Amino acid sequence: MRTSVDMTKERLRVSQDELAAYCKRWRIAEISLIGSIPTDVGADEPFEFLVRFQPDVMRRYADAVAMERELAELVGRDVEVVDYRSVVDWSDNYIRRKAILESTQTVYAA
Domain boundaries, the chain: 4-109
The torsion angles phi and psi of 92, rounded to 5 degrees, stand at -90, 0
**Rounded mean pLDDT, 20-24:** 95
**5 in helix, strand or coil?**
helix
Residue 89 has pLDDT above 90, yes or no: no
pLDDT single digits (tens) 50-85: 999 998 888 888 989 999 999 999 988 899 999 888
Taking domain 4-109, whether its CATH number is 1.10.510.10 is answered by: no
**30 in helix, strand or coil?**
strand
pLDDT number for residue 21: 95
User: pLDDT > 90: what percent of the chain?
Assistant: 35
